DNA sequence: CTCAATTTGTTCGTATGTATG
DNA sequence: ACATACATACGAACAAATTGA
């Protein structure tokens, strides 16, 4: 058995799904251009070290997804229309973060979970006396791309509760006159969609996500804004610009 | 059939694997504390709307992973030792990026792939005349955590080729006297491990990864350092500190 | 000590999905 | 398209260990 075939068999995931994922990446990579003919089943069978039918089954999946079209006697071709997969760019700088968020359309969710103090790490300030809990799904066009859970210091919320109920919270906080923001920090990890997230963002259960934990601290060292944001992993691109100032 | 059960069945991935992932997250979340008893098979069966044997199969997997221990007649308990899953913190600031990298141990790989000019985006400077291609696997302790492919302007490489063959490239470039760095940028997306990455980082095929594309531009607008770095997704934590300077 | 309740372990039989030649 | 082998998923019944009454 080939090395490749052994690697595939290490996983408990069905073979044809793994093969489909490999082919899907190649297509999205541009390994085969738009409209180009992909390798024949025979070639792929030899390359991956699996049965002909298994490759066929994988390609069948891709056709259902609209990624390729098969033509008997000719071959399998990459579909003409491939949308840009990474349509949401997040900028890791304060000003453009605010700018990006401002244009989004949040749909607020009713709050079912009981209030509880936000989880704060060691360098994330101390908790405010009371928080208001806000949850929303963020949209770009028709597509949901993130699930936002915000804990906002009650004192801040009440300064303009109407605005907070209709718009993204961070730009409002940033623009507030009497609020002095001392620092803000964000940590980001790669996770996977839990059942609720999967439902709200319309992604498969356990599909990869980026989970951001964002804290804004005022001059008194109080965490006035604590957000946990789950992005769908397949649409985001994180940009960071370093200025070395030499 | 419950809503949960329907969601689970939408995916082609085997049920018991999905259930295992759900339980694994709960354990890592701290939903059940260390040493605590998790829900009984009967309860989970009802919650997820799957057969008893399926839940059992999932828990069996977690026991093999060392996450839980089962005791007939008593229940299933979260293992006493849970190592910190996010042991690699990447800081999204130039100085600490350099600092973090400096202490890593790279193992250089022979270069099999043919040289080609680095892929540069619109704002990523113009290409140098010639590049040297370096590839390495980065380790923290015994554990491989990233696969680095660097294209380094040949002129830069030849200033200290010995150092570049033994250490991470970025700190060397940053410390070079005669090199003026005008800017540096990084984009990061969530991807999945291709066969080669899976082999080198010892992760399952198609497991989530973070793919960083990092470009350093000198005063003449030339991209002197272009790196594509693939991190294993399960161990990294990305930190960003915003200073608003109000 | 015994008994019942609880909880996990084991083993059927059956149906369907996956992978091969 | 077919035959074969193995994995997955289900429900059901029974066995074995633990706990507390």
3-state secondary structure B153-199: EHHHHCCCHHHHHHCCHHHHHHHCCCCCEEEEEEEEEEEECCHHHHH
The Cα–Cα gap between B224 and B156 comes to 7
The Cα–Cα gap between B200 and A229 comes to 31
**A-proximal residues of B, 191-220, CB under 8 Å:** 191-192, 194-195, 198-199, 204-206, 208, 210
* Tens digits of residue pLDDT in B62-83: 999 999 999 999 999 999 877 7
Q: Which two tokens stand for residue A205?
A: 């259960």
Residue A103 φ/ψ, nearest 5 degrees: -90, 0
When pLDDT is cut at 50, 70 and 90, the band that residue B115 belongs to is low
Q: How far does the CA of B31 sit from the C1' of D4, in Å? A: 45
Of A11, A188, A204, the CB nearest to B205: A11
Give yes or no for a contact between A149 and A227, defined as CB atoms under 8 angstroms apart: yes
Residues of chain B positioned with their CB less than 8 A from the CB of A194: 22, 25
pLDDT-wise least confident of A21-30, A200-209, B51-60, B115-124: B115-124
Q: How far does the CA of B73 sit from the C1' of D20, in Å? A: 13
For strand C, give the nucleotides within 7 A of a protein CB.
5-12, 17-21
Residues of chain A positioned with their CB less than 8 A from the CB of B4: 195
CB within 8 Å: A240 and B92: yes
Rounded to an integer, what is the distance from CA B217 to the centroid of its chain?
25
Nearest in space to A212 (alpha carbons), one of A175, A179, A184: A184
- Compute the Cα dihedral for B4, B6, B11, B16 and give only its sign: positive
A19, exposed or middle or buried, with CB in 10 Å at 0-12, 13-18, 19+? buried
The answer to whether B92 CB sits below 7 Å from nucleic acid chain D is: no
Nearest in space to B225 (alpha carbons), one of B139, B138, B133, B143: B133
When pLDDT is cut at 50, 70 and 90, the band that residue B246 belongs to is very low
Q: Return the CATH architecture of domain A94-235.
A: 3-Layer(aba) Sandwich (3.40)
B184 vs A: CB within 8 A: yes
Query: Which pLDDT score is estimated for B142?
Result: 86
Residue A104 φ/ψ, nearest 5 degrees: -80, 160
- The proportion of chain B whose per-residue pLDDT surpasses 90, expressed as a percent, equals 67
Q: Which two tokens stand for residue B169?
A: 């490239």
The answer to whether A244 CB sits below 7 Å from nucleic acid chain D is: no
Per domain, the residue ranges of chain B are 3-78, 94-235
CB within 8 Å: A187 and B17: no
Mean of pLDDT over chain B: 90
DSSP reduced 3-state for B222 = strand
The Cα–Cα gap between A223 and A208 comes to 29
* Tens digits of residue pLDDT in B13-28: 999 999 999 999 999 9
The answer to whether residue B225 scores a pLDDT higher than 90 is yes
Instruction: Report the DSSP beta bridge partners of residue B126.
Output: B222
**CATH node for A3-78:** 1.10.10.10
Q: Which two tokens stand for residue B17?
A: 């694997």
When pLDDT is cut at 50, 70 and 90, the band that residue B10 belongs to is confident
The answer to whether residue B147 scores a pLDDT higher than 70 is yes
Instruction: Give residue numbers, 70 to 109 of B, with CB < 7 Å from strand C.
Output: 70-76
* Tens digits of residue pLDDT in B198-224: 999 999 999 999 999 999 999 999 999
Q: CA distances (Å), B49 to each of A12, A184, B55, in order?
A: 22, 42, 10
List of residues 6+ apart from B81 with CB closer than 8 A: none
Q: What is the pLDDT along chain A (246 residues), one digit of tens a residue?
A: 678 888 888 888 999 999 999 999 999 888 998 999 999 999 999 999 999 999 999 999 999 988 999 999 899 999 877 777 788 888 888 888 888 887 788 899 887 665 677 888 888 889 999 899 999 999 888 889 999 999 999 999 999 999 999 899 999 999 998 888 999 999 999 999 999 999 999 999 999 999 999 999 999 999 999 999 999 999 999 988 887 544
B63 vs A: CB within 8 A: no
Query: Which pLDDT score is estimated for A246?
Result: 43
pTM: predicted TM-score of the whole model, two decimal places: 0.91
Query: Which pLDDT score is estimated for A121?
Result: 82
């Amino acid at each position: 058995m080939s090395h490749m075939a052994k690697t595939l068999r290490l996983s408990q995931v069905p073979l044809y799904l793994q093969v489909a994922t490999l082919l899907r990446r190649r297509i999205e990579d541009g390994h085969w251009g738009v409209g180009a003919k992909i390798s024949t089943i025979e070639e792929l069978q030899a390359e991956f070290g699996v049965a002909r039918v298994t490759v066929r089954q994988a390609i069948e999946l891709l056709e259902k997804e609209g990624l390729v079209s098969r033509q008997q006697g000719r071959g399998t071709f990459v579909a003409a229309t491939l949308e840009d997969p990474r349509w949401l760019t997040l900028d890791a700088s304060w000003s453009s973060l605010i700018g990006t968020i401002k244009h989004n359309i949040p749909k607020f969710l009713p709050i079912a979970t009981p209030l509880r103090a936000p989880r704060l790490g060691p360098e994330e300030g101390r908790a405010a006396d009371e928080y208001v809990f806000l949850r929303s799904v963020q949209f770009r066009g028709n597509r949901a791309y993130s699930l936002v859970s915000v804990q906002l210091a009650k004192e801040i919320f009440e300064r303009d509760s109407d605005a907070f109920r209709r718009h993204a919270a961070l730009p409002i906080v940033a623009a507030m006159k009497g609020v002095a923001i001392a620092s803000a920090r964000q940590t980001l990890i790669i996770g996977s969609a839990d059942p609720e997230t999967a439902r709200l963002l319309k992604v498969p259960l356990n599909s990869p996500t980026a989970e951001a934990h964002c804290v804004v601290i005022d001059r008194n060292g109080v965490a006035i804004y604590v957000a946990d944001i789950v992005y769908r992993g397949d649409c985001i691109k994180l940009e960071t610009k370093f200025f070395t100032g030499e």
